[in-house]
Amino acid sequence: MGKKLSLMALRSLIINGERKLLISAAIHYPRSVPAMWPELVKTAKEGGVDVIETYVFWNVHQPTSPSEYHFRWKIRSGQVYKNCPGGWDVFNPSDWTHLLQLNGILVLFICFSSLSFQLCTNRGIPVWLHYVNGTVFRTDNYNFKYYMEEFTTYIVNLMKKEKLFASQGGPIILSQVENEYGFYEGAYGEGGKRYAAWAAQMAVSQNTGVPWIMCQQFDAPPSVINTCNSFYCDQFKPIFPDKPKIWTENWPGWFQTFGAPNPHRPAEDVAFSVARFFQKGGSVQNYYMYHGGTNFGRTAGGPFITTSYDYEAPIDEYGLPRLPKWGHLKELHKAIKLCEHVVLNSKPLNLSLGPSHEADIYADASGGCVAFLANMDDKNDKTVEFRNVSYKLPAWSVSILPDCKNVVYNTAKVTSQTALVEMVPDNLQQEGGSKAIKWEVFVEKAGIWGEPDFMKNSFVDHINTTKDTTDYLWYTTSIVVGENEEFLKEGRHPVLLIESMGHALHAFVNQELQGSASGNGTHSPFTFKNPISLKAGKNEIALLSMTVGLQNAGSFYEWVGAGLTSVKIKGFNNGTVDLSHFNWIYKIGLQGEKLGIYKPEGVNSVSWVATSEPPKKQPLTWYKAVLDPPAGNEPVGLDMLHMGKGLAWLNGEEIGRYWPRKSSALGKCVTECDYRGKFMPDKCLTGCGQPTQRWYHVPRSWFKPSGNLLVIFEEKGGDPEKITFARRKTSSICSLIAEDYPSADQKSSQEAGSKNSNTKASVHLQCPQNGVISAVKFASFGTPTGKCGSYSVGECHDPNSISVVEKACLNKTECAVELTEENFNRGLCPDFTWKLAVEAVCS
């Protein structure tokens, strides 16, 4: 028998006859590797997740033409082999879905059209489709609809064959078509309206037996469920009153772009948004992302989105729980589940508790009662009266009372542990253990290598020329300088002026790098203006234009171009020389790319030069070394702080673009983030003046026991001797709890509703990976201040704090310390709210 799935008016999905409040987590299988999948699923499940949302990546599975589908088969049966022409090594979405099914996880809204990949290059649509004559994306266009339906049908049939829909007994409970099209539909006029209606009809006609949803689709027809994407969706209402309230994208952080500071969304605010959503009748909530992972290779979009797709998600890019966010949300999920039955079997009663303060109360026929108490004031704490009991509500917080009496959770009070996670350097080890790395180098020619691809007396669009087969396009020409030019006699330098639609550029004159320029994540076009060295006679001008991911948002985004639009040289006797209509010679890509010298099977296609001292600050240089893997079993990153910009591979696997470009947003960053008030991506920025991304994830499964081929292509010059691996390691675990924090033992959440008010708050510590607590670095019961790694003793302090914590925790994997009079001397400062702060080390 298949899973029975239906909709309950106003409230929820019904699965196998049970009404459910569902917590969903976005984890995208191509942004991690199969070796990581089991642990990612385990960590999500331990975090209280019921459902995992994933995309089916159209551009990954049909990258080169409509006649080829690329998959890897079959992980679940123990047989992993490649069926991928052109050397592709990608994943089968059915394998990922089967893994979730084996772990008792449901699957939410597989996005069959792949049009919701707003942060995947070209929005997840294969580039070849743009070059099918007459095609316009995302409107009432025959070609686009034909290929979209063809791909959708192919994937639906693949899932049906594997019996993966809930109607067949499988885990897929919802499917999605399109994404946030409502923001752009108006630009396409009536064609946009017709396309949106067609997309819904096409999806429903697939007869999957599960509902289809459309996100931010303001004119969605009644055959689908319209849903919300935002930082907050508590006020969202479905178009049709018989549809459940679903939040398909709750952004727990934000993406990063090269050259910009890093955004952070506090755990307290994420929790507040989720609690408010369920308080106001929400039924399904999905974190986009719960694990963001990595944009391996050149898959990042934007343009300028980083190789890291960490998203400050509850599980970090490397697969580790991000604390305290993961733990704080885990406790929230437990609290919500305590309320599930009552909330889904009653109607809410809203009660005002004062300006910006309210309660939503659910009471069922059996006497069950649930209350959500909310303080929407973003500055002031408030004590409210509810059912003749006083409750203190911190600003911008929700308290959850699963019995209308006891607070088991408050979104602003983080009771779960936090941690210090560091990237610990691990110097590259030559194969065999030698620390003296034997680098070999190959230098690209600046300009045309081999035969030219074509010539033209004008500029061509970069993307239309490369069709995204490479980031690189050479524009080359020459200019003859007469001996009578004044700048030669006076030792002056003429100025090269270049206008480009994006994204980046390196300018060479006579094989020498003259300078670089680029756009950024908010404005791709840029101007290059730099003095250059010219000689009397013929001068070769070679301009390397680069893309950094394709456009992935906006109306008609597939028509956004890149590349040069104007080249001039200022400073000649006769004024400025315009080279724009000179004879330009073009070459697509790099010689090393064409020969595949980053792959084990192609590495000997060129003559490498061995050197004990690899060149530094040398542009257009390939570096390779054969290495042992880093020690230990922690996740690994490649530290590229001292390199310029380029690409990296390990054993032929694409690590991705690296660019330790520093953020220029000085003065916009904060040292402490105030969780109170509505979040926007520029609210809590860090890393000003620092590289946006320094470390690049290298999955452990890519390493062999020895003989690992590391290949780097450096565009503008760096110091390869300073490249290191780094192991991502938890250096300390911490907790800071106050006596007025919710007292429910969330490790026994099923009992939480019956806990009485005499239960004391506790510090809970747990070492990762079954380690044990080997030392207590700090402990203070009293009024400690600070944060993990920098706690300090306050005005009041129990001198026995460390000994109490050591007795409870040393040599244990996990421990709990209650804030009780049996453990601590509360009489030292009776007028204070007591806290306990602990920092411990695991080994």
Q: Which of these, 521, 558, 468, lies nearest to 115 by C-alpha position?
A: 558
Beta partners for 397?
Answer: 375
Catalytic, 795? Answer: no
Using CB atoms within 10 Å of the CB of residue 364, give its burial: 0 to 12 exposed, 13 to 18 middle, 19+ buried.
middle
414-to-60, 185, 327, 459, 760 alpha-carbon distances in Å? 40, 41, 9, 57, 15
E-strand spans in 549-694? 564-572, 575-578, 584-588, 609-611, 621-628, 636-639, 646-650, 653-658, 685-686
Cα–Cα distance measured from residue 203 to residue 213, given in angstroms and rounded to the nearest whole number: 9
Look up tokens 């300028």; give the residue: 304
Is 281 in contact with 361 (CB distance < 8 Å)?
A: no
Is 226 in contact with 220 (CB distance < 8 Å)?
A: yes
109's enclosing H/E stretch is strand 106-111
Beta partners for 182?
Answer: none
Cα–Cα distance measured from residue 380 to residue 741, given in angstroms and rounded to the nearest whole number: 18
Beta partners for 777?
Answer: none
Q: Which residues contact 706 (CB under 8 A, 6 or more apart)?
A: 431, 432, 628, 629
Is 284 in contact with 246 (CB distance < 8 Å)?
A: yes
| Secondary structure of 159-193 as H, E, C letters | HHHCCCEHHHCCCECCEECCCCHHHCHHHHHHHHH
Catalytic, 249? Answer: yes
How large is the C-alpha radius of gyration of the chain?
Answer: 29
Cα–Cα distance measured from residue 839 to residue 618, given in angstroms and rounded to the nearest whole number: 45
- Catalytic hit among 180, 317, 818, 839: 180
- Catalytic hit among 53, 149, 178, 249: 249
DSSP 54-100: EE--HHHHS-S-TT----EE-GGGT--EE--GGG-----HHHHHHHH
DSSP structure class, residue 671: S
DSSP structure class, residue 718: -
Phi, psi of 628 (to 5 degrees): -85, 155
157's enclosing H/E stretch is helix 142-161
Residues designated as active site = 180, 249
